[in-house]
Chain A
Amino acid sequence: MNKVLHKEQLGEEVFRMRIEAPLIAEERSPGQFVIVQIDTDFGERIPLTIADADPEEGSITIIFQTVGSTTHRLAAIEVGECIENLLGPLGQPTYIENFGKVICVGGGIGVAPMHPIAQGLKKAGNEVKIIMGARNKDLMIMEEDMAKIADELILCTDDGSYGRKALVTEPLKELCETWKPDMVVAIGPPIMMKFCAETTRPYGVYTVVSLNTIMIDGTGMCGGCRVSVGGETKFVCVDGPEFDGHLVDFDNMMLRLGTYKTREAEDHHECHLEMAIQELED
């Protein structure tokens, strides 16, 4: 049982929550995640990155987008109520040292897991440029938090409603040409990570991506999270979630993310029906 201490809505479909979890707050490092399950008997277990932690308060912060049934139910939990199950910290921490010049690329909700990594990289003495992308202005999150870290912050939207009208790969390519980074970290939708890796490949810039496969246990027991990296099968929950983006088979990973598409589409539809009904009632 973990109590929700704070909840706020960052965007149309994005929420930030601070949750009581003293042991996880004490042990976690940037790059690690938790598994959340709302009810013990019938709930789904979903992975969410630890966006921040406060060991003194004994709390962790998660930032999530409502995409399906569990994230919608999570968003409905009020301050003071409890999440029945929270397991973590899971996965390998990000390898952080002074690489020199680093570009962090965050797309959509990927900005949340990017935040602690960018913070860690900055603290380790790196020069950090941050590129953030979103479909439109309303979906841009955590701009202020990122501005505090970045030596340069570049904002892009697909529709030009905020910042530059571009995909994140455009400024990324320009910086590869002109600034010559030593490393790139890209976190966002798989398709974005795939094209970031393709963008940096010709420049030979080491590119780390954080994969968001479907998970069950998060401890290496089921193999459901497996991806092909450099021709070898890896388990994202224990070998990752971060991998060398130039080696990841993104096409297979994206296909696998669609394993339960039909069922999830129905659930999503129902969630929105329920939310609509609730709004009418309110």
Chain B
Amino acid sequence: MSHPSKEQLQKEAAEVLSALDITALKPKQRIAIPVQEMPTQDPGVRITNMEEVAIGYSKDQVIAESLRCLQCKNAPCIKGCPVSIDIPGFILKAAEGDFQGSIDIIKESSLLPAICGRVCPQEAQCQLYCTVGKSLKDVEKSVSIGRIERYVADLERESGTIKMPEIAPSTGKKVAIVGSGPAGITVAADVRKAGHDVTIFEAFHKPGGVMVYGIPEFRLPKSIVAKEIDNLKQMGVKVETNFLIGRTRKLMDLMVKDGFDAIFVGSGAGLPKFMKIEGENLIGVFSANEYLTRSNLMKAYDPKNASTPIYNSKTVAVLGGGNVAMDAARTAQRLGAEKVYVVYRRTEKEMPARVEEVGHAKEEGIDFLLLHNPKRIIGDDKGRVTGLELLRYELGEPDDSGRRRPIAIEGSESILDVDTVIVSIGNDSNPLIKQTTESLVTNKWGNIIVDEDCKTSIPGVFAGGDIVLGAATVILAMGQGRTAAESINKMLAEK
């Protein structure tokens, strides 16, 4: 499987553009413009490195793709975007080649466009509703909203022309933010702009949350996240790493002892679920969180420099079908595994991972064992994994979530020879803050309960992101961050 090079794709786009009178395009002509393919590293090459798979459009490609947009009056795409970006607005500017104008429109609604353009599940959000995709009866032929968004955001960042937002005069009020994931970053920026004194407290030694420790470099370069953090610091936000709220300081002590006027909790969903099957504590069984943290945050993929080891695997089974499972599988392969299986108990259609990542994983040679589920993990006398016993499944009636329920087929056991099992079946919320904060109300899964303004049961304490939503997405975390920041600013203005 060889991919057209960036140059090839740019040449084709240039040809498309030169054949069109782009000032007077009819909808039919727009729809006829071919979907601009994302230039990527060749699969055979990219599995030997950690660099980003998707290279990004060229200028001609981004203009060609933007011209596909029909500028629908009712803009159905906007309702698919959790932060309601003015999608036709920014695409029109991009089509005109006014990339600064384009990013300015995006930034009215979104704080992290370079990141969301890369990791949003667009096919289930903005692009799901796109008229172009609908008329071509294929959501993959929708306008590539995310790719255009990424292009204009990257261009601004790389050109170093990012304008620092204006900061209102100091109010003398202090806001504490727990966690530096997308939710925390968003609140920090919005609250700081209102002139408040903002400190982020982060448990890890590096800020960025899942974007730094979970999502791999080959999907989201860490330098992009670092730049966002840098911008926050330039705005005057303080970042305290190695600071675990609940242990280094209790949540309420931030108010009582340290004089913070408001607190935002954006501590994420960091408690890995296991399957509770036999053999789960054998050597060679890891949670995806552990495996990915070793590789991403601790840089174990670079054994020459990094002190943190990572398991030496030949054959790997990854259990699960979400983004996390894809990331773990593709990381294992890049770390030298010869064979990597993704074991998922439903079919590809039900897999929650981004379509693009599933496609990339397949291109890279990951083997999908669909309609299979593990029964037990088998080890040798030294306690090391040697195999995985699987049961075949079939799909039955739809369950509460509307997905057809997988049912085990009796007597269908088989054994898969693997030396490593990576469990990637989701996360619950970390109970530490709840356990150390009296009167903070959570639901039965440990998620903090908030009202529509992101207020918790404790006055002055707000929450958002995965700790509220359960494992969700970057853009949803950001969206809640926006809401919470607005409530905080409102509360502090009235105080």
Interface pair A224/B286, CB less than 8 Å apart: yes
For residue B307, CB closer than 8 A to chain A, the reply is yes
B272-310 contacts to A (CB < 8 Å): 272, 274, 276, 280-281, 283-284, 286-287, 289-290, 293-294, 298-299, 302-303, 305-309
- Which stretch, A79-87, A134-142, A186-194, A202-210, touches the partner chain B? A79-87
Could you tell me the distance in whole angstroms from the C-beta of A163 to the nearest C-beta in chain B?
Answer: 35
For residue A228, CB closer than 8 A to chain B, the reply is yes
Please judge, given known A-B contacts A222-B272, A222-B293, A260-B311, whether A87 and B244 are in contact too, CB under 8 Å. yes
Chain B interface, number of residues (Cβ within 8 angstroms): 42
**Contact pick for B205, options A70, A87, A263, CB 8 Å:** A87
Which of chain B's residues has its CB closest to A249's CB? Answer: B281
For residue A165, CB closer than 8 A to chain B, the reply is no
For residue B382, CB closer than 8 A to chain A, the reply is yes
Residues 306-343 of B, flagged 1 when their CB comes within 8 A of A and 0 if not, give 11110110000000000000000000000000000000
For residue A152, CB closer than 8 A to chain B, the reply is no
Interface pair B289/A42, CB less than 8 Å apart: no
For residue A41, CB closer than 8 A to chain B, the reply is yes
Query: A residues within 8 A CB of B274?
Result: 223, 233
Query: A residues within 8 A CB of B97?
Result: none
Which of chain B's residues has its CB closest to A44's CB? Answer: B307
Please judge, given known A-B contacts A42-B305, A219-B270, whether A37 and B289 are in contact too, CB under 8 Å. no
A interface, size bucket: 35 or more
Query: A residues within 8 A CB of B40?
Result: none
CA separation between A238 and B428, bound complex, in Å? 15
Interface pair B293/A221, CB less than 8 Å apart: yes
- Which stretch, A54-62, A174-182, A251-259, A274-282, touches the partner chain B? A251-259
Interface pair A40/B431, CB less than 8 Å apart: no
Please judge, given known A-B contacts A27-B247, A27-B248, whether A217 and B293 are in contact too, CB under 8 Å. yes
Interface pair B307/A42, CB less than 8 Å apart: yes
For residue A120, CB closer than 8 A to chain B, the reply is no
Which of chain A's residues has its CB closest to B430's CB? Answer: A220
Query: A residues within 8 A CB of B204?
Result: 217
Interface pair A222/B289, CB less than 8 Å apart: yes
Interface pair A259/B203, CB less than 8 Å apart: no
- The A contact surface, by secondary structure, is mixed
Could you tell me the distance in whole angstroms from the C-beta of B281 to the nearest C-beta in chain A?
Answer: 6
Please judge, given known A-B contacts A222-B293, A256-B383, whether A264 and B203 are in contact too, CB under 8 Å. no
Residues 84-119 of A, flagged 1 when their CB comes within 8 A of B and 0 if not, give 111111100000000000000000000000000000
Interface pair A219/B203, CB less than 8 Å apart: yes
Query: B residues within 8 A CB of A86?
Result: 242
Interface pair A233/B308, CB less than 8 Å apart: no
Which of chain B's residues has its CB closest to A86's CB? Answer: B242
For residue B11, CB closer than 8 A to chain A, the reply is no
Which of chain A's residues has its CB closest to B284's CB? Answer: A259
CA separation between A42 and B294, bound complex, in Å? 11
Interface pair B247/A69, CB less than 8 Å apart: no
Interface pair B244/A90, CB less than 8 Å apart: yes
Residues 257-277 of B, flagged 1 when their CB comes within 8 A of A and 0 if not, give 000000000000011101010
CA separation between A172 and B32, bound complex, in Å? 84
For residue B241, CB closer than 8 A to chain A, the reply is yes
Please judge, given known A-B contacts A216-B293, A222-B290, whether A88 and B247 are in contact too, CB under 8 Å. yes
**Contact pick for B247, options A84, A90, A262, A264, CB 8 Å:** A90
Interface pair A255/B286, CB less than 8 Å apart: no
**Contact pick for B309, options A45, A238, A264, CB 8 Å:** A264
For residue B440, CB closer than 8 A to chain A, the reply is no
CA separation between A262 and B309, bound complex, in Å? 10
Could you tell me the distance in whole angstroms from the C-beta of A123 to the nearest C-beta in chain B?
Answer: 23
Query: A residues within 8 A CB of B382?
Result: 255
Could you tell me the distance in whole angstroms from the C-beta of B434 to the nearest C-beta in chain A?
Answer: 12
Please judge, given known A-B contacts A37-B205, A220-B432, whether A23 and B249 are in contact too, CB under 8 Å. yes
For residue B206, CB closer than 8 A to chain A, the reply is yes
Please judge, given known A-B contacts A233-B281, A255-B383, whether A88 and B248 are in contact too, CB under 8 Å. yes
Interface pair B306/A42, CB less than 8 Å apart: yes
Could you tell me the distance in whole angstroms from the C-beta of B266 to the nearest C-beta in chain A?
Answer: 15
For residue A125, CB closer than 8 A to chain B, the reply is no
**Contact pick for B203, options A24, A27, A87, CB 8 Å:** A87
Query: A residues within 8 A CB of B311?
Result: 259-260
CA separation between A140 and B116, bound complex, in Å? 57
Interface pair B430/A216, CB less than 8 Å apart: no
A23-56 contacts to B (CB < 8 Å): 23-24, 27, 37, 40-45
Query: B residues within 8 A CB of A84?
Result: 205
Could you tell me the distance in whole angstroms from the C-beta of A36 to the nearest C-beta in chain B?
Answer: 10
For residue A14, CB closer than 8 A to chain B, the reply is no
Which of chain B's residues has its CB closest to A221's CB? Answer: B270
Query: A residues within 8 A CB of B299?
Result: 41-42
Query: A residues within 8 A CB of B271?
Result: 220-221
Interface pair A220/B270, CB less than 8 Å apart: yes
CA separation between A80 and B210, bound complex, in Å? 34
CA separation between A229 and B205, bound complex, in Å? 30
Interface pair B242/A87, CB less than 8 Å apart: yes
For residue A226, CB closer than 8 A to chain B, the reply is yes
For residue A128, CB closer than 8 A to chain B, the reply is no
Query: A residues within 8 A CB of B284?
Result: 259
Query: B residues within 8 A CB of A69?
Result: 307
Query: A residues within 8 A CB of B203?
Result: 87, 217, 219
CA separation between A69 and B298, bound complex, in Å? 15
Interface pair A223/B290, CB less than 8 Å apart: yes
CA separation between A227 and B283, bound complex, in Å? 12
Query: B residues within 8 A CB of A249?
Result: 281
**Contact pick for B248, options A24, A220, A223, A228, CB 8 Å:** A24
Which of chain B's residues has its CB closest to A2's CB? Answer: B242
Query: A residues within 8 A CB of B248?
Result: 23-24, 27, 87-89
Please judge, given known A-B contacts A85-B205, A87-B205, A233-B274, whether A219 and B241 are in contact too, CB under 8 Å. no
> Could you pull out 24 A-B pairs where Cβ atoms are within 8 angstroms?
A42-B298, A42-B302, A42-B305, A42-B306, A43-B308, A44-B308, A85-B241, A87-B248, A88-B248, A216-B293, A217-B293, A219-B270, A219-B430, A220-B271, A220-B431, A222-B289, A223-B272, A223-B290, A224-B286, A226-B281, A228-B281, A249-B281, A263-B309, A267-B307
B contact set with A: CB distance below 8 Å: 203-206, 241-244, 247-249, 270-272, 274, 276, 280-281, 283-284, 286-287, 289-290, 293-294, 298-299, 302-303, 305-309, 311-312, 382-383, 430-432
Return the 8 tightest CB-CB contacts between A and B, nearest first: A255-B383, A222-B290, A221-B270, A44-B307, A260-B309, A223-B287, A85-B205, A263-B309
A contact set with B: CB distance below 8 Å: 23-24, 27, 37, 40-45, 69-70, 84-90, 216-217, 219-224, 226-228, 233, 238, 249, 252, 255-256, 258-260, 262-264, 267
Q: A87-B243, A260-B309 are in contact. List 20 more A-B contacts (CB 8 A).
A: A27-B247, A42-B298, A42-B299, A45-B298, A88-B244, A88-B248, A90-B247, A216-B294, A217-B203, A219-B432, A221-B289, A223-B272, A223-B289, A224-B286, A226-B281, A252-B281, A256-B283, A263-B309, A263-B312, A267-B307
